[in-house]
Amino acid sequence: MDPYSVKRFQEYIMNAFPSKFYYFLNGWVVRFTGGITYRANSVFPINYIGDETQIEKDIEVVEKEYKKYGLPTIFTMHDYFKPENLDEILKIRGYKEDSHTNALISEINEIKRSEINRYYNYEIYNNRIPEFSNLLAQYTNKDEEQQEIITEISRRITIPKKCFILAKFKEKVVGTLMGVLNSEGYVYVSDLLVAPDHRRNNIATSMIFTLIDEWALKNNARYIWLQVEVQNRIANKLYEDLEFRKAYYYYYLKLH
């Protein structure tokens, strides 16, 4: 993917996961949201309009601000960060790499389809209801209090359209998926989770197909994309089987 497209996707993710506070510094976007996720609490170095003499000073500015909130300083490093030597400068300052991640994409009409598991029910909501957050709190490393902050993040999604899907088995919530559609026809998928006792039943793919059939196509979506950590082999295999392809790559540089 070319530099222009990668930077567009950085804007897409910031709009799909909006922080509580933003600070703009010589082309960098500095994001703060209570420290719950790296995405909402990191610097996005999409562009840089400063010169070589300012870089160290600007890094010191953001380090001071994150420290003020009791947060580590984190930079989201995509394929075309600016300035081009930023990673070298940060590593000299003691930053360490974390959470290597691929962004995957597919045209909706190229997704490899299979049957939806009709032993489960799939419900679509306009907002992140408590049942959605409760399942994620149970099976992820973010507890109920942290999930409430993420719910607040979802409430800040404005221009993009959003939906939340629950998979149920006998009225019990066993799966979640969030979709965010922007004005250019790209649906971003996140919070895709299936309870351990119900995995290997095609619930994840069934929620994706439900998203496509019952919401995305009805809202004129053309593409579907998501992010998955490189080391998550099971998820990567799932998306590979669905015909997703790598769009770009990113990782975090974190000052511990």
When pLDDT is cut at 50, 70 and 90, the band that residue 125 belongs to is very high
Euclidean distance between CA atoms 11 and 210, whole angstroms: 26
Q: Minimal CA–CA distance to 105: which of 178, 14, 5?
A: 5
> Average pLDDT of 179-194?
96
When pLDDT is cut at 50, 70 and 90, the band that residue 142 belongs to is confident
**pLDDT of 201 higher than 80:** yes
Euclidean distance between CA atoms 35 and 252, whole angstroms: 14
What pLDDT is stored for residue 174 in this prediction? 97
What pLDDT is stored for residue 81 in this prediction? 94
**pLDDT of 34 higher than 90:** no
What pLDDT is stored for residue 36 in this prediction? 81
What single-letter amino acid sits at 123?
Answer: E
CB 188 within 8 A of CB 13: yes
In degrees, rounded to 5, the angle at the alpha carbon of residue 27 between the alpha carbons of residues 25 and 32 is 50
Assigned token pair, 79: 């394929």
Q: What is the domain partition of the chain in residue ranges?
A: 3-102, 106-248
What pLDDT is stored for residue 141 in this prediction? 84
CB 127 within 8 A of CB 83: no
**pLDDT of 168 higher than 80:** yes
When pLDDT is cut at 50, 70 and 90, the band that residue 54 belongs to is very high
| Candidate from 90-99, 142-151, 224-233 with smallest mean pLDDT | 142-151
106-248: which CATH topology? Answer: Aminopeptidase (3.40.630)
Chain segment 76-124, per-residue pLDDT in tens: 999 899 999 999 999 999 999 999 999 999 999 999 999 999 999 999 9
CB 217 within 8 A of CB 109: no
What percentage of residues in the chain have a pLDDT greater than 90?
83
Which SS3 state, helix, strand or coil, does residue 129 take?
A: coil
When pLDDT is cut at 50, 70 and 90, the band that residue 181 belongs to is very high
- The pTM (predicted TM-score) of the whole model is 0.93
What pLDDT is stored for residue 159 in this prediction? 82
Assigned token pair, 9: 């996707």
> Average pLDDT of 226-249?
93
What pLDDT is stored for residue 64 in this prediction? 96
What pLDDT is stored for residue 41 in this prediction? 93
What pLDDT is stored for residue 256 in this prediction? 78
